[in-house]
A = this chain, B = another copy of it.
Amino acid sequence: MDIKGYLKERAKEIDREIQKRLPKGIPEKLFEAMAYSVMAGGKRLRPLLVLESAKAVGMEDWDSIMDIAVATEFIHTYSLIHDDLPAMDDDDLRRGKPTCHKVYGEAIAILSGDGLQSYAFELISGIKGIEPEKLLKVINLLAHGTGIYGMVGGQAADILHEKENSFNDIQFIHTHKTAKFIQACCEIGAVLGNATQEERQALSNYGLYIGLAFQIQDDILDEIGDEKKLGKKTHKDREKNKLTYPQIYGLEKSRQMAQEYIERAVSQIKDLKDPEILTQLAKYIINREV
């Protein structure tokens, strides 16, 4: 199958679903800033993983869980807006467009991020037609994977390393900054798709491994990627003295490690009802140029 084409189609579909769920309100500039960043494009990997994980365990109709998929992209966008701030990674470009604070100012960028986070939880907690126990589990997985024991903790570790060079466990940083959120998306899909305990564990492991491979590939693309295709500057990590896989292990060994994670991920899900897309998606993660 043409996984690249498939992913492109799905991303377009998810874009439309996100567009429908963009909040509207006052003050307009705040809502405009949120929409600007959410609609700046992207692979929509996290919503896709929610949907495809649910499908892999047998869910046929995605309509009922689309709010949740979209909510994960709101959280992802909040993290990008805050990461790009001058006090954080200080980036002017994201996906080829000026970053949120460049267009709307720092204060509105901070608030847009804050607001996208709370709106994600508002959206999920307001869903009708899914059992409350399940929604609570989804909220818990999402808050955990993106919070102090996940993404926020990893980002803090990454920054503290930068400044003090004392916190040098790259595995901790990559696992927390990137992989735990991706893992949470796969587990959320499992919960929503009524996975058995084994299926859920398999998808959780799958998510962790592709998350790690994804971050290694990100590090590699920062070294050797095409700035035009990526829509952002490369060699940022090196300039900022960030810990990366290529820096520690070299390019070849990093590629090999990413490859191994993908193989482990794929082997985890081989017994699921419908593992085909997730298998192809895992392989695509380390072949992507964007």
B-contacting residues of A (Cβ < 8 Å)?
A: 23, 25-27, 29-31, 34, 78, 82, 85, 87-88, 105-108, 110-111, 113-115, 117-119, 121-122, 125-126, 131-133, 135-137, 139-140, 143-144, 146-149, 152-153, 155-157, 159-160, 163, 167, 172
Contact = CB atoms under 8 A, between A and B. Distances in A.
Interface core residue of A30, A105, A172 (most chain B CB under 10 Å): A30
Contacts of A27: 153, 156-157, 160, 167
A105 B159 CA distance: 11
Nearest to A167: B27
B117 A139 contact: no
A153 B25 contact: yes
Interface of A is mostly: helix
Nearest to A149: B25
A160 B108 contact: yes
Contacts of A29: 156, 160
B110 A122 contact: no
Tell me which of A25, A117, A131, A172 has the highest count of chain B C-beta atoms within 10 A of its own C-beta: A117
Contacts of A106: 87
Contacts of A140: 122, 125-126
19 contacts: A25-B148, A26-B172, A27-B156, A30-B156, A34-B148, A78-B114, A88-B107, A88-B110, A111-B156, A114-B117, A115-B148, A117-B118, A119-B147, A121-B143, A125-B136, A125-B139, A125-B140, A126-B140, A132-B133
